[in-house]
Amino acid sequence: MRFRPCIDIHNGKVKQIVGGSLTDENDQAVENFSAVQDTDYFARLYRKDGLKGGHVILLNPPSSQYYEQTKVQALKALEAYPGGLQIGGGITSENAEEYIGAGASHVIVTSYVFQDGIIRWDRMDSLRRTVGKEHVVIDLSCRKRDGEYYIVTNRWQTFTQVKLDPEVLYRIAEYCDEFLVHGVDVEGKASGVEEELIAILCSQDQIPITYAGGIGSLEDLKHFQMISKGKLDFTIGSALDLFGGKIPYQTVKHFSCQESEESCRKINSL
């Protein structure tokens, strides 16, 4: 169980947003926090503290007037911490090598491999052949509909036809090194974790999974550790004091690079 830090970029700035509020129209989102620092400030901090596997996410689509500003900031983070960060947002087989070459350890992919609401296995394979399975993270972020979790794409705005279940996790794991999963309905709300979703994620043990969404306090973190049995990594955004929240970054950062059992002891001692 490791803490994975994040750098979310929207309209050229480091921000924390309410996940379900993001829309491409007029590049709008409900903001929890907007940083005055550029991305390299946070990248250097994570590098100094030895936090690997953090996520740099471009929240603007290529069609946005802000896309180039957002991309410049993303590349700035990769340059500040080469090999230490993953990057997602508009990744395809065509541009994945650019980001790996710019210093990303992995590319994070969603919409490209879930086109028209279905899994595009040909694109999964193309991505794997282009940069190697060891450099691919598949983002299976999801929202609930009719009592089931469905993978969502296009910056969490579009439901696919793909239910998130143990079988899907098992099949897709052949094409990537890790999974990243946001519980979008609670993302940015610090309202508690998605327990049903966590149970699904814990059903597989092929590759690492990072869970994001709803951890709003150290009590939530303890609860997450208990129900996940330390099997999942985690990220915290809006609730972290680094981004205007109440959870101390200086406390959470110590959960990284620890074996699960030791991490559990640390959490339970808080």
Please tell me the distance from the alpha carbon of residue 130 to that of residue 136, in angstroms, as a whole number. 10
CA-only gyration radius of the chain, Å: 17
Pairing verdict, β 178-182 and 142-145 = unpaired
Range with top average pLDDT, 131-140, 146-155, 224-233: 131-140
Of 98, 107, 5, nearest to 47 by C-alpha is 5
pTM beyond 0.75, yes or no: yes
What percent of the chain has pLDDT above 70? 87
Q: Which two tokens stand for residue 79?
A: 């340059």
Please tell me the distance from the alpha carbon of residue 128 to that of residue 119, in angstroms, as a whole number. 15
Most distant CA atoms of the chain, gap in Å: 48
pLDDT of residue 186: 77
Statement: 6-265 belongs to CATH 3.40.50.720: no
List the beta strands (DSSP E) in 48-128.
54-58, 85-88, 106-109
What percent of the chain has pLDDT above 90? 72
Please tell me the distance from the alpha carbon of residue 93 to that of residue 115, in angstroms, as a whole number. 14
pLDDT of residue 14: 93
Whether pLDDT at 25 is above 70? no
Of 179, 245, 191, nearest to 215 by C-alpha is 191
Instruction: Provide the CA 94 distance to its chain's centre, in angstroms.
Output: 21
pLDDT of residue 128: 97
Could you give the residue ranges of the DSSP H alpha helices within the chain?
39-48, 67-80, 96-101, 121-131, 166-172, 195-201, 218-228, 249-252, 260-268
Mean pLDDT of the chain: 88
Q: What pLDDT digit, counting tens, does each position of 174-217 carry?
A: 999 999 999 988 765 666 899 999 999 999 889 999 999 889 99
Residue type, 111: S
pLDDT of residue 31: 63
